[in-house]
């Protein structure tokens, strides 16, 4: 429930921040960075002194490093253009996926490879109660902070010139939102792996019901995402029991047709306009 809520909230914010209906944590390379960090720790056995928090720490560090790389590569003179941010994020994401593929290929044994591959497709199988307080704290505080900036998101969605004319510094707020999104994504990927389409599709479905105002969207999207993720996890554990399906495969199978249906609706324009 926490991961579903967090992914939905982060998806809403990133779409508004870069003014792109196709944006989600994967587009900005944050999820890929977290995956590389977690995979590196799993395969090499690094950070062993942290015990059960080793993978989480690796994923968290990877997400922050990816966000920092995207920011440094896309900023120019302190300005952070939405288009440059998206293009840089996509490029960095592909590069990090290539790095992850090399790490998996060079894994010392097949068991480590299968574990890493399954984890990169999303699973709560390795989640523990010990990680719950950290995830709950980061996701809850992050969602509250993001909701408090709902009016800023409304202004950012209108464009940088309009935002500046209304007294909102788009670059400063974009940097802050990027940090918050990176922190939340890193923690979530650390416990669940990379789960696609939740942060992409859920914001659009919620906007279809409550409108484009971010105060309403950020209030409902986490609840919808939490409910959706609980049902996805139930399907993953029971559909082909006793085996467990990867969560990312199920969310993609659900998300792709939903996204296509939304795209073909004449009454809905992506971005809420």
For range 158-163, the mean pLDDT: 80
Residue 270 has pLDDT above 50, yes or no: no
Residue 271: what pLDDT?
47
Residue 267: what pLDDT?
55
- CATH superfamily, region 2-264: ABC transporter involved in vitamin B12 uptake, BtuC (1.10.3470.10)
For range 5-27, the mean pLDDT: 87
- Quote the pTM value: 0.87
For range 232-239, the mean pLDDT: 92
Percent of the chain whose pLDDT exceeds 90 = 25
Using CA of residue 94, residue 72, residue 28, residue 230, what is the dihedral sign? positive
Residue 201 has pLDDT above 70, yes or no: yes
Q: Where are the domains of the chain?
A: 2-264
CB 258 within 8 A of CB 236: no
For range 188-194, the mean pLDDT: 84
Lowest mean pLDDT among 49-58, 176-185, 229-238: 49-58
């Amino acid at each position: 429930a926490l991961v579903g809520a967090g992914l939905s909230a982060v998806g809403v914010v990133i779409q508004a921040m870069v003014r792109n209906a196709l944006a989600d944590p994967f587009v900005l390379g944050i999820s890929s960075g977290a995956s590389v960090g977690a995979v590196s720790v799993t395969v090499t056995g690094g950070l062993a002194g942290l015990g059960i928090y080793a993978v989480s720490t690796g994923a968290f560090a990877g997400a922050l490093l990816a966000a920092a790389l995207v920011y440094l590569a896309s900023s120019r003179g302190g300005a952070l253009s939405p288009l440059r941010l998206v293009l840089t994020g996509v490029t960095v994401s592909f590069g990090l996926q290539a790095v992850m593929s090399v790490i998996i290929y060079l894994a010392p044994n097949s068991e480590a490879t299968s574990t890493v591959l399954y984890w990169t497709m999303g699973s709560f199988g390795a989640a523990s109660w010990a990680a719950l307080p950290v995830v709950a704290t980061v996701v809850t505080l992050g969602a509250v902070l993001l909701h408090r900036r709902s009016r800023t998101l409304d202004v950012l969605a209108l464009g940088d010139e309009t935002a500046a004319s209304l007294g909102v510094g788009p670059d400063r707020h974009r940097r802050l939102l990027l940090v918050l999104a990176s922190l939340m994504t890193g923690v979530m990927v650390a416990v669940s792996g990379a789960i696609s389409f939740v942060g992409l599709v859920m914001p659009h479905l919620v906007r279809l019901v409550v409108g484009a105002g971010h105060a309403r969207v950020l209030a409902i999207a986490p609840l919808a995402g939490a409910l959706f993720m609980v049902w996805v996890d139930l399907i993953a554990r029971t559909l082909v029991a006793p085996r467990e399906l990867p969560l990312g495969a199920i969310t993609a199978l659900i998300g792709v047709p939903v996204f296509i249906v939304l795209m073909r609706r004449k009454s809905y324009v992506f971005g809420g306009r």
